[in-house]
Amino acid sequence: MVKRKRQASVTETDDHRDEVVDSLTPASASSRQQQGTLEDRGQSESPARQASERSPQQPAAAPSLVNVLPSITRKVTACVACRKNKTRCDMPENGPPCVRCRRRSLSCVLNRSLQSLVEDTKNVEHLRTDVQNLHQTIDIICQTLDLQPPRPLLITGNENECTRETNRLEGECDAGPTEGCEVSPPESPTAVQAPIDTFLDIAKHGTPNSTKIPSGVTRGNGRADLISKGIITLETAEQLLRRYYSRLDHFLYGICGENRDMDHLRKDAPTLLAAICTVSALHDPQDQETYEACNREFRSQVARSLFEKRDVEYLRALCIASFWLADASRILSSDGIRRAADMRLHRSFDSLLGIHPPEYSSPSSSSPIVAADRIRLWYLLFVCDQHLSILHNRDSLLRNDKDIAVSLLLIMGQVRDVLGSDKEMQLPSALTHQITNYSRQLDRWFTRFSALFVTNAHIGDFPRRGLELHYQFGKLYLGHQVFKGLRGNPIPVHFLSAAHMAHEATVTIFEMILNDPKMSENLVGMPHYFHVMIAFAGHLLLEICHNHHVQLNIDLSGELHLISAVLGVFRKIDCITYHPLRRMAPGLNRKLSETVTMLGLDIQHAGITGGPDPSVQPLESMHDIFPLGSSEPPVDDFLFTDMGESTFPDLVSSFMP
C-alpha cells in the first residue's frame, strides 16, 4: 500500500509538472493536435512564430518586454488545491474561494503569477501610450495658447534624446569639487585702503586652497561651450553670430565688436557665446527651439558662475543679455553691476584721462583702447540699470551723478524721486511748477542731442528714431504722474497741461509705429525697454479714453482706430513666442475690447469713419488681430516670472477705476 501510494504520488507529481509545462510552453502538443485541421488548411501560424519554434535560441533584433515573455495560451482558472487533487474547480466570477474550498473550509489560492506578470506588462505598455498621447495633447494646447511647451518625455525610447537630456542635467552641476565662496576682491587696488583689504590679506594665508589656485585663474577656464556639448551645431552658431553682428549689436553701439570670432568666443568666452546665440535666436521666428536650448545653457552657465570670479567678457555677456532678455534682465543686471564694482570698471575713466598714477591702474585697462571699451561697457550697465529702475519703480543701483552726462535718464530719475512713482497718493498742487520744469528739461535735452545722431548702415535711421521714442517716453513718464490716485475722478485743473502732455506722448508713440515702416521693422531687434514702454503707453491711452475723454476733448473714434491699427502692425510681425512683442499684443487687444465695451460702443460699428489714416483698419478687425476670447496673458502679466513689478503695477492700477 505504501509503495502504491508513493507511486501514485510520483505519478501525480509528474502529471502536475506536465500540466505546468503545458501551460508555459507557447503551444502544447495537445493543442497542436487539436489544430491539425487548421495547419493542413493554411498553415495559420505566422512565419515569425514558425521561425521562433525552429530556432528557439535565436534572439530577436529588438524584442520588447512583452515579446520576450512566454505566451499564455490557457488562462489559469483552477485553484492550487483542486489542481493538486485533479478535481473540478468551480470558481465563481468574482474570484476565490471556489465551491469545493468554501465547502471544506480550505485555503483557496489561485496561482496566476505568470499570467499577471504578462498582463501587468501589457498595462505598462498601454500606460506608456496614454502618457505619450497626453503629452502630445498638452503640447498642442501650449502651441495654441502660445505657452512654453512641456519638457520632452524621457520614456520615448529615443536613446539619443535621453542621452542629451542626461547630459543637460549633469551639465547643470559643477564638474569639479566646490571650493569656498570667495569674497570677490576687486581686480585693481584702490588709492585708500578699505576695511576689507586687511581681512583679505590675512584670510588668504589661511585658505586651504589658496596655494592651489593661481591668481586670476578661475574654475571656468576650459569649461565646455554649447557647441562642444552638442546643444547646437557649429553651423547654427556661426549663423547666429552673423545675425547678431550684422544687426543687433548696433542697437548697443557695437559693444561686442566684430573682432570676437568663433574661436575666440569658444576658447575664452563661452558665456558670451551663449548670450549672443540666445539673443540672436530670440529675434528669428524660426529659431524658437534654438532659443530655448541656448537660453537654458546660458542660464545654467550664469547660475554656476555666481560665486566665481569672472573677466570683462563675462560681464559683457551679462550686459548684452540684460538689454534683450526681459525675463532675466533684472537679475543679470544686478550681477553685472556687482562684478563691475569688483573690477573697478568705473576707474577706467581716470585711467583714460591719466588722473591716477600707473600703480593704481588695472593692467587690463592700461591700453587706451581697452580703457575706452570698459567705459562704454560701464555706460551700458548704467543705462540698463536706469531703465530697470524706471520699469520696476525702484531706486537705481548705480549712483546718479551729473558728471555721468546721461541727461535723459537722470531727469527721469529725478521725476521718480521727487514725484514718488511708488506712492499711490494724488500729487499735491505744489508740484505743478516742478512738472513744468522737468518738461522744459526734456525739451532742451531733445533739442541738444537730436542733431548728433546720423543714419546707421545696419539699422538705418533707428538711432534718430530711438532718440525720439526716448523723448516721448520721458514725456509719458512725467505726465502720467498726474493720474495717480484719481480713481476715475476728474483731473485737477492745475494738472490738465501735464495730462495733455501724457496723452500727446502716447498718441505720438503709436503714430510713429504706424506711419514709419522702418520703426515697425525694428520692433523686433530693439531692447525690451522699448516694448515695455510701448505697452504702458497703450494701456495709459486706453485708460484716458475710458475715464477722461470728455475732459481732455479726445476723439474716441480716432484714438481707438489708432490703437487697432497698431495692433494690426503687431499682428503682421513674425516673432517667436518668447519675444516681448508677442506677449504684450494680446493683452493690449483685450484691453481695447474691454474699453470699447465699458464705453458702451458697438465693436462692429464704433468709430469706423473719421479715422486718422485711410489705411487704418476698422475696429471690427480686432477679432482678426487676436481672438478676444484668447487666454493670452494680459498686459499686466506679460512680463514673465522674475519681474514682479515690471508692468507698472502702481503706475497703472493707481488710476484704474
- Whether residue 175 has pLDDT greater than 80: no
CA distances from 148 to 134, 529, 570, 590 (A): 16, 22, 20, 21
pLDDT value of residue 63: 46
Q: The C-alpha cell of 378 is what?
A: 560701464
CA–CA dist 327, 316 (Å, integer): 18
- Phi, psi of 434, rounded to the nearest 5 degrees: -65, -40
pLDDT value of residue 309: 86
% residues pLDDT > 90 (the chain): 30
CA–CA dist 406, 123 (Å, integer): 68
Q: For cell 475732459, what's the residue?
A: 551
CA–CA dist 463, 635 (Å, integer): 27
- Whether residue 56 has pLDDT greater than 70: no
In terms of Cα–Cα distance, which of 291, 266, 263 is closest to 277?
291
CA distances from 371 to 187, 217, 265, 523, 605 (A): 14, 22, 21, 32, 61
pLDDT value of residue 298: 95
Region 15-34 average pLDDT: 44
Average pLDDT of the chain is 74
- Whether residue 137 has pLDDT greater than 70: yes
In terms of Cα–Cα distance, which of 579, 578, 535 is closest to 147?
578
Secondary structure class of 609 (helix, strand, coil): coil
- Whether residue 622 has pLDDT greater than 60: no
Secondary structure class of 341 (helix, strand, coil): helix
pLDDT value of residue 3: 44
Q: Do 404 and 410 touch, CB atoms closer than 8 A?
A: yes
Helices (H), 361-495: 368-392, 407-419, 432-449, 462-479
pTM over 0.85: no
Beta bridge partners of 460: 456
pLDDT value of residue 23: 46
In b/e form, how buried is each residue of 243-253, taking b as 16+ CB within 10 angstroms? bbbebbbbbbe
Q: Do 280 and 245 touch, CB atoms closer than 8 A?
A: no
CA–CA dist 244, 277 (Å, integer): 8
Region 539-546 average pLDDT: 94
Secondary structure class of 460 (helix, strand, coil): strand
The type of residue at 31 is S
Q: Residue 248 carries which DSSP code?
A: G
Q: For 338-394, write each residue's pLDDT tens digit.
A: 998 888 887 776 666 665 555 555 555 567 788 888 888 988 999 999 899 888 888
* Residue 105 pLDDT class (50, 70, 90 cuts): confident
Secondary structure class of 456 (helix, strand, coil): strand
216: left (phi over 0), alpha (psi -120 to 50) or beta: left
Q: The C-alpha cell of 13 is what?
A: 507529481
Residue boundaries of the structural domains of the chain = 224-384, 406-653
Q: The C-alpha cell of 520 is what?
A: 515697425
- Whether residue 624 has pLDDT greater than 60: no
pLDDT value of residue 127: 82
CA–CA dist 594, 588 (Å, integer): 10
CA–CA dist 560, 594 (Å, integer): 12
Residue of 554 and 487 predicted with greater confidence = 554
In terms of Cα–Cα distance, which of 169, 302, 269 is closest to 229?
169
Beta bridge partners of 456: 460
- Whether residue 21 has pLDDT greater than 80: no
CA distances from 165 to 173, 211, 223, 299, 357 (A): 13, 37, 19, 16, 53
% residues pLDDT > 70 (the chain): 63
- Whether residue 495 has pLDDT greater than 80: yes
Region 494-498 average pLDDT: 94
CA–CA dist 130, 132 (Å, integer): 5
pLDDT value of residue 368: 78
- Whether residue 30 has pLDDT greater than 60: no
- Whether residue 512 has pLDDT greater than 50: yes
In terms of Cα–Cα distance, which of 321, 315, 333, 331 is closest to 373?
315
Region 38-42 average pLDDT: 43
Q: How far apart are the first and last CA of the chain?
A: 104
- Whether residue 151 has pLDDT greater than 70: yes
Lowest mean pLDDT among 174-183, 239-248, 404-413, 632-641: 632-641
CA–CA dist 176, 223 (Å, integer): 11
Q: Do 406 and 467 touch, CB atoms closer than 8 A?
A: no
Q: For 567-594, write each residue's pLDDT tens digit.
A: 999 989 989 989 998 888 888 999 999 9
Roughly what angle, to the nearest 10 degrees, separates helices 496-515 and 528-547?
Answer: 130
The type of residue at 544 is I
Q: Is 92 exposed, middle or buried (0-12, 13-18, 19+ CB in 10 A)?
A: exposed
Helices (H), 451-579: 462-479, 496-515, 517-521, 528-547, 556-572
Q: Do 655 and 487 touch, CB atoms closer than 8 A?
A: yes
- Whether residue 296 has pLDDT greater than 80: yes
